[in-house]
Structure 1
Amino acid sequence: MRERLLRKLEYINKWRMKKISNRNFLVILAFVVGIVGGLAAALLKGMTHFIASALQDDVDWHYKYSVYLVFPLIGIFLSVLFVRKFLRGKKLEHGITPIIYSISRKSSRIEFHNIYSQIVTSALTVGFGGSSGLEAPIAYSGSAIGSNIGRFFGLSYKEITMLLACGAAAGISGAFNSPVAGMIFAIEILLPEFSIPAFIPLLISAALASVISKLLYSEPLFHTTTMGWEVEALFFYLLLAVLVGIYTVYFSKISQWVKNWFAAIKNPYNKVWISGISLGVLIFIFPALYGEGYITIQQILDGRFDAIVKNSLFSDYKDIGWVVLCYTVLTLFAKSIASLFTINGGGNGGVFGPSLVMGGLIGFAFAFGMNQLGIVQLNVPNFVMAGMAGALAGVMHAPLTGIFLIAEITGGYTLMVPLMLVASISYFINRAAMKHSIYTKVLAESGDLLSYEDKDRTVLSMMKLRYVMETNFVVLKPDERPIDRQSDIIHSKRNIFPIVDDDGKLLGIIYSERLFSILLDEQEGKDKNFAVLAQKPNDIILETENMEVVMTKMNRDDVWILPVVNKDDQYLGFVSKSSVFNKYRGLLVRQGMYLK
């Protein structure tokens, strides 16, 4: 039955290839990706909030924060258990970084299981109180939908990449009910070089996902009434931008430290215990850390400034302004730790949502603190929204996404100028301190990042040494003489010969010009063996070195070809500029087709 279905689908696809061009078919598939992405976003939001409601609504508030000590632990444990038992050895990655890596290194291929595994694990993690966001998992799930649909229909790399981006845009659009922000997110993060036709599939997918998600799960993320902003407050928006930018640098740096610390823990269940218990303690002290944290931000936007302290251990002091301010600052830094512990301890989620919450808390603390001083009276909700845009712009290096996302989900288009200022300044501060975003830093360090600022370096980083290494060379032994290998030397199409001992170690090289001189001149070196005649190469290439290092060595010594050895100095082959340039041309064509 399954084989018959596959044959039928293959027949339909062949008919489609004859009747419908890939360009037009891509638009049709963008509709499909948008609908499925919207369904996935609605499903994830519904599952997460169902779990959270089931855990909270039936528990009296006088003691429910005590049981929060175990909820995050249970959620992360169930997430890890799902991966180990149901995925059976398949790797579950989280965040936006693996999506970017799949574009750079895996021909935009994302494993099928990510369509559902991202939804299940993130719903368990966040629903049970994990302090992370749902946006990265749904973007990953949407990308997997687009990637697998494109591969199923046998589309090219650039077309699969476009559908992958459509899926990510659909996921973000469905999660926030913000189609413009979803489209801009895909362009800023996944498609840094794009052409105008790329807008069409992205617009279709993002718009459809937003409609589907709104039909199935109509609850808005935030709702607020924006009264506009005053020019007199511009100086304070600039101060806020600097604070947010500095905080995003701190968060970017500490995220790498926490990731490395958890990476040193090999047992996955030890990570669960450490992260789960730590989260439980943090949530017990700072209840606002439970789950995504959007509820607290909404309460602040509604003018309930004491909400962050209410129901906490310090609720008796909720009417004291400076207690609220200090507690907010502590919650802010606790949020950074809680979100990173959730993600790296085995739970699934991203820093997209936590960035919004942290930015909102910074904006609230800044405006509320200024009001407490009595020097000025600032509109607190406006500064909360501006802080959210600035944090997203700094952490993700995506200022346009931050601006339009906050404008869409809050209806705050009248705040466009403050959003633009805070987002752009925060972005430039983070960019000055951190060349790469939290998503791309690891890829840049490993040479796996597509960069359009330095295309030569990017194309070189895409090459693997083993694909440009040539091995069809005549190998000479150290105890042999030129006369012994005369026939092989004369008929070789190469002008260089490696001299290798019985253990496979490279002893040196010799060029054909030198060998022909010996063979034609009876007096020159006839009786000398290759151990004596061997020349030391200008340099050698280790099999583990990247192509940027290879070209640096070649250019430094102005040589055209160098031998390749392993860590034991055993000969493997040669790499030449000719083979590198041929591969370079192929990759340059492919990169040019990325979004032609």
Structure 2
Amino acid sequence: MNVTSRIKKNYHFIKFRKLVIVSVLIGLLSAFLGIILKNITEYYEEIFFHKTIINPIFLVFFPVFGLSIIYFLREYVFKKKENKGIKEVFESTNSISNNLPSYKIPSHFINGFLTVVFGGSTGIEVSTVVASATIGSVAQRKQNVFRRYKTELICAGVAAGITALFSSPIAGILFSLEVISKKVTRAFLLTNLIAVSIAFGLLTLLDEKPLFTVQIATWHIKAIPYFILLGVLAALNSIYLTRCVLFFKEQFSKIKTTYFKIIIGSVILSISLFVFPQLYGDGYHAIKSIFINPNELLFSFALVLTFVGILILKPIVTSVTLASGGDGGVFAPSLFTGAFLGLLVAVLLNKYLDAAVIPINFMILGMAAVLSASIHAPFTALFLVCGLTNDYNLFLPILGVCLLSKYTAKMIYPFTVYSYSPSFIK
């Protein structure tokens, strides 16, 4: 081996070693961020939500207080910059010079937390994604050897953050691939596999439990036509959610005075929460409540009207939350509406067609199907929902409805809230 070959070999070894080390650090920091944000949000959301049950007057004060604090933080602490959600990550990965500034870590962490605990009808998932992507972006800028691996290191942070939230390393990698990178390289595999392994190891070490505890016995082939129906309805629901978000953001952008946006958004949010408390925050508390013996749920017109009202209002209050300054995205709203949609469809099928379908199965399928159609990422939705419930008995039907809902939604309306741009329709 000549001197040139030896130098080249040593360089590649050093570069490989540095990539491994930085991937470990990104995975560890992103997982810590995701776990801490998830746990403190869940803890304080439960406390504040309980306060609103005891005294509903808090439903008037919480939304306006939370959105006001976020506004003042943006105005006086975070350089007067608005958070654009996952589009910020796209802008960074698609540009050599456009980087995610380090203040995005505390900005999304704090604003995502404040939005949800004070009743904003969204989740912390997008806040975690952007904050963890920023960890990868900051790491990438530390040494010249990492410059060419910008997308891979950002994706490593995102994958670790998603793993921390949903206890599914496969979902973390697939989200990075399907939504952000859209291509696989050896560096992508190396960095992302290491990052999610570290994140999942931390979850195991801290004994983090799945978000939902469910018991799934089986599923029947005779239910496949009903699964198809659910997949189509989930696609339509996701389009409604996407169009609501885009519509309200456009309308609120016409309001030049920021505090008018906050007041209007808070009024809409407060009234909606007063009518349907299930819409408070990320809504996971409501999903957990309907996961308790859903198979024994009895049909009533009041129940149906409640579920229909929730399905109509949830996309609206989510959109208003985001348009009036809240920090979040469509992850939690998609899972929420999917669970209620699935349960509603199962109840109606059993009542009017004597279908004998299993409601809990339809809830899980609905969650995956709406998420798949909302973000156009069926495999992410598949493994994410399986990770949420820590159960893979419905793997095949979930895969089927995720693919069906995604391509049905894409055929009707080709955009997601991530991919839409006004320039596309000019």
Please indicate, yes or no, whether the TM-score normalized by the shorter chain is above 0.5. Answer: yes
Q: Offset at 1:368? A: 1.4
- Deviation track 1:469-515 (CA, whole Å, cap 9, x = no partner) reads xxxxxxxxxxxxxxxxxxxxxxxxxxxxxxxxxxxxxxxxxxxxxxx
Q: Choose which of 284, 301, 318 in structure 1 pairs with 2:291.
A: 301
- Deviation track 1:209-238 (CA, whole Å, cap 9, x = no partner) reads 233245457243111111121111111000
1:42 aligns with 2:35: yes
Matches within 5 A, 1:362-377: 362-373=341-352, 375-377=354-356
Unmatched 5+ stretches in structure 2: 1-9
Q: Does the Cα contact within 8 Å between 2:52 and 2:59 map onto a contact in 1?
A: no
1:132 aligns with 2:136: no
Q: Distance in 1 between matches of 2:98 and 2:79?
A: 23
Q: Offset at 1:302? A: 2.1
Q: Offset at 1:197? A: 4.8
Q: Does the Cα contact within 8 Å between 1:73 and 1:279 map onto a contact in 2?
A: no
Q: Distance in 2 between matches of 1:328 and 1:445?
A: 35
1:440 aligns with 2:422: no
Instruction: Describe the SS at the equivalent of 1:441.
Output: coil
1:111 aligns with 2:104: no
Match of 2:75?
A: 84
Structure 1 pair 66–263 and aligned structure 2 pair: CA distance change class (3 A):
same
Match of 1:378?
A: 357
1:22 aligns with 2:15: yes
Match of 1:467?
A: none
**Aligned AA (1:78):** I
**Aligned AA (1:410):** T
Q: Distance in 2 between matches of 1:86 and 1:305?
A: 49
**Aligned AA (1:38):** A
RMSD: 2.3
1:175 aligns with 2:165: yes
Structure 1 residues 282-291 or 401-410, which shifts more? 401-410
Q: Offset at 1:247? A: 1.6
Q: Distance in 2 between matches of 1:165 and 1:331?
A: 34
Q: Does the Cα contact within 8 Å between 1:407 and 1:416 map onto a contact in 2?
A: yes
1:250 aligns with 2:240: yes
Q: Offset at 1:54? A: 3.5
Larger strand proportion of the pair: 1
Instruction: Describe the SS at the equivalent of 1:233.
Output: helix
Match of 1:361?
A: 340
Matches within 5 A, 1:393-432: 393-432=372-411
Q: Offset at 1:86? A: 1.2
- The total of aligned residue pairs comes to 417
Q: Distance in 2 between matches of 1:106 and 1:150?
A: 12
Instruction: Describe the SS at the equivalent of 2:94.
Output: helix
Q: Distance in 1 between matches of 2:76 and 2:228?
A: 50
Q: Does the Cα contact within 8 Å between 2:52 and 2:58 map onto a contact in 1?
A: no
Match of 1:73?
A: 64
- Deviation track 1:422-470 (CA, whole Å, cap 9, x = no partner) reads 11111011111222322011287399xxxxxxxxxxxxxxxxxxxxxxx
Q: Distance in 2 between matches of 1:236 and 1:320?
A: 18
The structure that has the greater radius of gyration is 1
Structure 1 pair 446–104 and aligned structure 2 pair: CA distance change class (3 A):
farther
Identity rate of aligned residues, in percent?
27
Structure 1 pair 442–224 and aligned structure 2 pair: CA distance change class (3 A):
same
**Aligned AA (1:86):** V
**Aligned AA (2:173):** M
Match of 2:327?
A: 348
Q: Distance in 2 between matches of 1:148 and 1:222?
A: 33
Larger helix proportion of the pair: 2
- Deviation track 1:132-171 (CA, whole Å, cap 9, x = no partner) reads 0111110100000000011012344431211100011111
Q: Distance in 2 between matches of 1:131 and 1:249?
A: 18
Q: Does the Cα contact within 8 Å between 1:226 and 1:411 map onto a contact in 2?
A: no
Q: Does the Cα contact within 8 Å between 1:258 and 1:341 map onto a contact in 2?
A: yes
Q: Which fold has the larger relative contact order, with Cα–Cα distance below 8 Å and residues 6 or more apart in sequence? A: 2
Q: Does the Cα contact within 8 Å between 1:77 and 1:272 map onto a contact in 2?
A: yes
**Aligned AA (2:387):** E
Instruction: Describe the SS at the equivalent of 1:365.
Output: helix
Structure 1 pair 444–403 and aligned structure 2 pair: CA distance change class (3 A):
farther
Structure 1 residues 366-375 or 390-399, which shifts more? 366-375
1:94 aligns with 2:84: yes
**TM score, norm. by length of structure 1:** 0.67
Q: Distance in 2 between matches of 1:362 and 1:444?
A: 33
**Aligned AA (1:239):** L
Q: Does the Cα contact within 8 Å between 1:118 and 1:138 map onto a contact in 2?
A: yes
Q: Does the Cα contact within 8 Å between 2:175 and 2:380 map onto a contact in 1?
A: yes
